[in-house]
Amino acid sequence: MYKFVSLRHVLLVSLAINVGLLWRFTNEGNGSDANVRRKTNVIRSSSFTTGLISVDEVQPQEFISLQVGDPTMYTRFWREMGNKTTVVLSGDQHLSYISNVKNLCWFLEPKLESAITRLHQLVGNAVVDDRHIVVGTGSSQLYHAALYALSSLDASEPMSVVAAAPYYSSYPSMTDLLKSGLHKWDGDAHKFNKTKPYIEVVTSPNNPDGFIRKPVVNHENGRVVHDLAYYWPQYTPISSPVDHELVMFTVSKATGHAGMRIGWALVKDEEVAKKMVKYIELNSIGVSKDSQLRATKILQAVIDSYDHTSIPEEGETLFEFGFNLMAERWKKLRTVVKQNPIFSLPNYSPGLCSFSGRTFEPQPAFAWLKCEGQIEDCESFLRSHKILTRGGEKFGVSTKHVRISMVDEDNTFDLFAERLSTIRQ
């Protein structure tokens, strides 16, 4: 009898505890911050994004991560597009490695090649006539392919690779990842004074600070790679079609489809294009045809929305959506920063955009924020306020600067702006 009663009491106590926990779980966190469901990032232990995972609720003391340029701000636009960009694949499609045996880039799908050409002709941001299009698994693979193609295979020492600071933070590690005997990272292009052959990487608009860039070394024995991932009309005025030897673009920043992993290079020199194709052949035996097909569908949808010979589409076009959202975010951020003397932002000169006909200031995909006064480590300072950024030393400059993504989801950006407005030294 004693054991039976004890067991019954244990069961009753257990039931009471579980009911209490259930009540707490369903009712806890109903304050003002929890009334709005937010999705953002909180810090964990490891991964390429320093271990960031998504959660549905963000409490006031949780981290906001804007370290990575993950372009999820476009989610709303593509969700509203519905099934207009849906791709259905059957089991017998894309079995072969080869897309077009007659093309120099034999793994480039013909329809994607056509869509890329039409998109640049529409926007007017790059010369495509007499160019070889090389498709890659994002611009990261194309970067490695370009370094391989431009390096001397029989040189006695690795070719120097430089970029003007502040430069993209991944260039040093990407360049030296395999400890290649072909090339090595040699730092800030402004400080490069060697007479030997070199490769200069020019990112324009620049990541992280958003300014239009040109080569700074300009030696006769140098080669230049132009990374134009952000040269699209939602971020900066399109002044003219770029006409360079080798330029790189990526779907991720143009349309927001970073997970598709599709980029392309426009290459003037046939031998350079052949070497880039050879690198990708050896590295991955081509590029996913499934991703190429999806990229084609996305780019065609963007192009068709500007086709005035057809019935006009309802709602905003992609570039209009991106422009309006970036303008709104930059206005909000500048208002917050203007009211807080411990922060500052770069000032940009307005320019006429040949694509939209607007005159506007650049509104980059990243904010290059500076901590003023006695704050020497801006990244650590913002981290103490639960805001994760990428510090200036990773871009070859002072720790007083940080790079902040402007292309995250709406709720994440709004919470960031709100939190930044409350910071005092």
What pLDDT shows up at residue 308?
Answer: 63
E strand spans, 343-406 = 343-344, 351-352, 359-360, 366-371, 387-388, 390-391, 401-405
Which token pair is 60?
């006031």
Alpha helices by DSSP H, 65-109: 75-80
Alpha helices by DSSP H, 66-209: 75-80, 110-123, 138-150, 171-176
What pLDDT shows up at residue 425?
Answer: 77
Which residue, among 275, 278, 280, 249, has the nearest Cα to 262 in the 3D structure?
249
Each of the 425 residues of the chain gets a pLDDT tens digit; together they read 444 444 444 344 444 444 444 444 334 333 333 333 334 344 332 334 443 434 344 455 699 999 999 999 999 999 999 999 999 999 999 999 999 999 999 999 999 999 999 999 999 999 999 999 999 999 999 999 999 999 998 889 999 999 999 999 999 999 999 998 999 999 999 999 999 999 999 999 999 999 999 999 999 899 999 999 999 999 999 999 999 999 999 999 999 999 999 999 999 999 999 999 999 999 999 999 999 999 999 999 999 999 864 444 567 899 999 999 999 999 999 999 999 999 999 999 999 999 999 999 999 999 999 999 999 999 999 999 999 999 999 999 999 999 999 999 999 999 999 999 999 87
- Cα dihedral 324, 327, 329, 335, rounded to 10, equals -140
Alpha helices by DSSP H, 43-137: 75-80, 110-123
**Parallel/antiparallel/unpaired status of strands 222-227 and 246-250:** parallel
Burial class (CB in 10 A: 0-12, 13-18, 19+), 313: middle
Which residue, among 66, 21, 18, 7, has the nearest Cα to 419 in the 3D structure?
66
What pLDDT shows up at residue 29?
Answer: 38
What pLDDT shows up at residue 39?
Answer: 41
Distance between CA atoms of 337 and 88, rounded to whole angstroms?
Answer: 46
Alpha helices by DSSP H, 124-189: 138-150, 171-176
Terminal CA-CA length for the chain = 67
Distance between CA atoms of 208 and 206, rounded to whole angstroms?
Answer: 6
CB-based contact 419:386 (threshold 8 Å)? yes
